[in-house]
Amino acid sequence: MRWSLKWLGLGAVIAACVGYLVVSATGSSAEYYQTVGEMRGHGGSSDVRVLGTVQNDVVRSDGGLHVRFTAAQDGQTMPVDYRGTVPDIFRPGIQVVVDGHMGSDGVFHARTLEAKCPSKFSSAQSQGTPTG
């Protein structure tokens, strides 16, 4: 017994709709993910996500809601400026992922700052994102 064209047609229409949704959503929200080293090579003003290690020059102000620090990776460094809640485990030496853009002042302005969890976090299939 063959399935009639009606069902195949319906399936094709739904698949096309979903395909369009996925492609358009990807196009409008995908960002490059790179380390500080790679970032220096590419530049550009669009939003990117950058991975780096927090250096020893963290300056907190505004009661802790504003931080400036240098992120480094692969021998390259990048100053970062972030306003918002800082993750609990944020401190020099940990890896962070910042999402934002490189300003004309040469400072990376982060919209979000996420801390990579310490390796012991791997214990347990943890749920949830410890983001700022």
Partner 1 sequence: MLLAELGGAFLLASLALVALSAVAGVAAGRGDDVRLAAVGRRAFYAGGVGLAAASATLLVALLSRDFTIAYVFEHSDRSLSAPLTAAAFYGGQEGSLLYWALLLAAIGSVSLAAGAAASVRLTAYANAVLAGIIAFFLVVMVFVASPFALLPVTPADGLGLNPLLRDGGMLIHPPFLLAGYSAFAVPFAFAVAALLAGRQDAAWVAQTRRYALVAWGLQSVGLTLGMWWAYHVLGWGGYWGWDPVENAALMPWLATTAYIHSAQVQERRGTLRAWNYGLVIAAFLLSILGTFLVRSGILPSVHSFAVSPLGPWFFGFLVAAMVVSGAALARRSGQLRSPEPAEAAVSREGAFLLQNVLLVALTAAVLWGTLLPLLSGMTGRELVVGAPYYERAGAPIMLALLALLAIGPMLPWRRVQGGWLKLLRWQLGSAALALAGLLAGGVRQPGALVALPLVAAGLITCLVEYGRGAAFARRLAGPWPIAAARVLARNRRRYGAYLAHAGILVVAAGLIGSHVWQQSRQVTLRPGESVTVGSHTLTYQGMSAQNAGDHGELVARLRLGDETLEPARLTYPSLGGQALTRVAIRSTPLDDVYVVLAGADGSTVALTVFVNPLVTWIWVGGALLVAGVLLGNLVRAEPELERAPTPLGVAAAVR
Question: Is 124 a residue that touches partner 1 (CB under 8 A)?
Answer: yes
Judged by CB under 8 A, the stretch of 29-37, 71-79, 101-109 that binds partner 1 is 29-37
Cα distance between residue 101 and residue 127, in whole Å: 28
Report in angstroms how near the CB of residue 56 gets to partner 1 at its nearest.
13
Cβ-Cβ contacts under 8 Å for 70 (sequence gap 6 or more): 54, 55, 57, 77, 78, 79, 80
Question: Is 1 a residue that touches partner 1 (CB under 8 A)?
Answer: yes
Backbone conformation region of residue 43, classed left if phi is above 0, alpha if psi is from -120 to 50, else beta: left
Question: Is 52 a residue that touches partner 1 (CB under 8 A)?
Answer: no
Question: Is 43 a residue that touches partner 1 (CB under 8 A)?
Answer: no
Question: Is 56 a residue that touches partner 1 (CB under 8 A)?
Answer: no
Query: Which 3 state secondary structure label does DSSP give 82?
Result: strand
Buried-state track 81-118, b at ≥16 Cβ within 10 A, e below 16: bbbeebbeebeeeebbbbbbebeeeeebebeebbbeee
Report in angstroms how near the CB of residue 70 gets to partner 1 at its nearest.
19
What residues make contact with partner 1 under the rule CB under 8 A?
A: 1, 3-4, 6-7, 10-11, 14-15, 18, 21-22, 24-26, 28-34, 38, 42, 49, 51, 60, 62-65, 83-86, 88-89, 91, 95, 97, 99, 114-132
